[in-house]
Structure 1
Amino acid sequence: MEHQGKTPWYLHVLFWLIACSTILPILLVFMVSITDETTITRNGYSFIPEKISFEAYKYLFLDSMTIVRAYGVTIFITIVGSVVGLLLSALLAYPLSRRDFPYRNKLAFFVFFTMLFNGGLVPWYLVFTQLINLKDTIWSLIIPGLLINGFYILIMRTFFSTSIPPALIESAYIDGAGEFRIFFQIVLRLSTPVLATIGLFYTLAYWNDWFNSLVFLTDSKLYSLQYLLNKILLNIQFLAQNTRNNNASQIIATLPTETVRMAMAIIGVGPIVLAYPFFQKYFVKGLTVGAVKG
């Protein structure tokens, strides 16, 4: 009985092995990024570089201010987009979870309908460029396609309806609290697990987005990090495939192509890795609350 609450040792070993298996690919990517290009061409990928070279990072940071500016743009749109998107999703999901809301079923169907059908790429582009006039603005990286997601709204609605006791809301009404006070001071404070989960989804979506930059931007100062890195890689590939001059071909052949891919992955993952430890405790808390309530 005294050992009933202890986790078996072999489960600890299993989890350590799983953790190591997730770290190894990242380690391999980093090692390849600091390996000499000719070595990779000759021997392939390796955890131990035969010849260390930082040419890939030097190439990416030839114009360091461009990378720094793209980092700033991506961090800004990630923070602003995630916070605003999370707030708007919660503001829509909460009424849908209330049984006394008269149009909840019709509005829920409208949200679900957007998950199945859309107007197409051309009308979508025309709305945001001609009607709303977001072209070449920072808001074109925040609003189109990312700010509101029907799937996230339905997840939050389910959490609100199953985890927030109606009696708690009724007692707050009796004490004189209004709708906004109930929502911000009671509902949101009890919904930290789902807010953290959806917040992480928003964070990853904004951080990894490159399509909005491709569609809406011509000003290079507003490029997101992912789009800038992708454009650098495409430029290298274009030069490698279309250069016919012998001298130029020799120069292009020395450009780091495979190592640049890996260096881009390391640079791109950047600060987003720091978001996981922040959200992890809320995931664990959410699992614990669900287990206790079950």
Structure 2
Amino acid sequence: METTKTHWLLHVLFWGIACAAILPLLLVLIVSFTDEQTILLHGYSFWPEKFSLEAYKYLMYDSATIFRAYGITILVTLVGTLGSLLITSTLAYPLSRADLPCRKGFAFFVFFTILFNGGLVPWYLVFTQLLDVKDTIWALIVPGLLLNGFNVLIMRTFFANSIPAAVIESAYMDGAGELRIFAGFIVPLSKPVFATIGLFSTLAYWNDWYNSMIFLSDSKYYSLQYLLNKILLNIQFLSQNTQNNNASAIIGMLPQETVRMAMAIIGVGPIVFAYPFFQKYFIKGLTIGAVKG
């Protein structure tokens, strides 16, 4: 009887948490389809008096730019995530092997990069002067996102705690080399942690706007998040700095509040649909990878 009550309490708790997460997103969606004047008069509401598509019409006025930014962001996310998984796993796997020479030193070096960095100016100079990624698609893939020390440590811990040593030893006895062991045995057994790190990388690349701001002056390479942010800043600038009365009236008609919500929906949409594909492995990969340091 006591166990049944506990289960009901847990169900109610989790339903409450789910509603707390879903309702704000639902409100953003509804507000994005609400008339601007209705928002100004009555504020946000789950049951608006008047629906409108003006926010989406405004964003799609230059639809070619939006779709190009979508394509750039999708390409960068796919290439960056796959590259990040490849580099992270090939670094984490040797660190998980007890027979690696100077293993602790390499692990400390990875950990050190989580705590300290060289600063913004050296970081910028390395990628613009040494690697020359400025105004290229690589500026959205390489700087700051391709390799993350935290992800390396999670994956290393997963390999060390979840891959039986007997599997590696038997593969050695069958004549398999290191590359064959990694590709044929380690990767298939490590789907949870690959899904977890893949989700982290996907979110990082999809939500990134900073690299576009720092490294790009050519608008054809702008990411979706930076483009949407730039549109919002342009609206705010025009509304605050327009002196002409006629122009002010026109600017005042722009859907400033609803367009913010429409941008959020456009930006978050693909990630919401992608998350269920990762969910199966996400919790298992994160918890197993966090058992030990």
- Common topology (TM > 0.5): yes
Other-structure match for 1:71: 70
Compared with structure 1, are the counterparts of its residues 212 and 107 closer, same or farther at alpha carbon in structure 2 (3 Å cutoff)? same
Distance 1:283 1:58 in 2: 37
Q: Take 2:13 and 2:124, find their aligned partners in 1: how far apart are those partners?
A: 49
**Compared CA separation, residues 236 and 270, structure 1 to 2 (3 A):** same
Provide, for residues 245-267 of structure 1, a one-character-per-residue CA deviation record: whole Å limited to 9, x for no partner.
11111111111111111001000
User: What residue in structure 1 maps to residue 51 of structure 2?
Assistant: 52
Deviation at 1:187, TM superposition (A): 0.8
Instruction: Please show how residues 94-109 of structure 1 align to structure 2 within 5 Å.
Output: 94-109=93-108
Contact 1:134 1:140 in 2 (8 A): yes
CA contact (8 A) 1:73 1:223 kept: yes
Q: More displaced, 112-121 or 142-151?
A: 112-121
What is residue 17 of structure 2 aligned with on the other side? 18
> Are the counterparts in 1 of residues 195 and 285 from structure 2 also a CA contact under 8 Å?
no
Q: What is the match of residue 130 of structure 1?
A: 129
> Deviation at 1:34?
1.1
Q: 2:173, 2:207 → 1: CA distance?
A: 46
**How far is the alpha carbon of 1:282 from its aligned partner?**
1.3
- Say how many residue pairs are matched: 289
User: 1: distance between equivalents of 2:8 and 2:74?
Assistant: 41
The residue number in structure 2 matching 1:253 is 252
- Contact 2:196/2:286 (<8 A) preserved: no
Q: Distance in 2 between matches of 1:263 and 1:249?
A: 23
CA distance in structure 2 between the aligned counterparts of 1:23 and 1:160, rounded to whole angstroms: 34
Distance across 1 between alignment mates of 2:55 and 2:287: 45
Fraction of identical pairs, as percent: 73
RMSD across aligned positions (CA):
2.1
2:163 aligned partner: 164
- Aligned-partner Cα distance in 2 for 1:117–1:284: 29
Whose helix proportion is higher, 1 or 2? 2
Structure 2 residue runs of 5 or longer lacking an equivalent are: none
Structure 2 equivalent of residue 263 of structure 1: 262
What residue in structure 2 maps to residue 221 of structure 1? 220
Given residue 84 of structure 1, which amino acid in structure 2 is its aligned partner?
Answer: G
Equivalent position amino acid for 2:274 in 1:
A
Measured after TM superposition, the shift of residue 9 of structure 1 is 4.6
Please show how residues 140-159 of structure 1 align to structure 2 within 5 Å: 140-159=139-158
How much has 1:21 moved relative to structure 2? 2.8
Aligned residue number for residue 180 of structure 1: 179
Taking a change above 3 Å as real, the CA distance of residues 13 and 116 of structure 1, as seen in their structure-2 partners, is: closer
The alpha carbon displacement at 1:286 in A equals 4.7
DSSP-derived class of the 1:189 partner: helix
SS at 2:188's partner residue? Answer: coil
Q: Could you report, residue by residue, the CA deviation over 1:68-109 in whole angstroms, capped at 9, with x for unpaired residues?
A: 000000000001100110110000000001010002111111
- Distance of 1:123 and 1:285 partners within structure 2: 38
TM-score when normalising by structure 1: 0.93
**Which deviates the most, 162-171 or 151-160?**
162-171
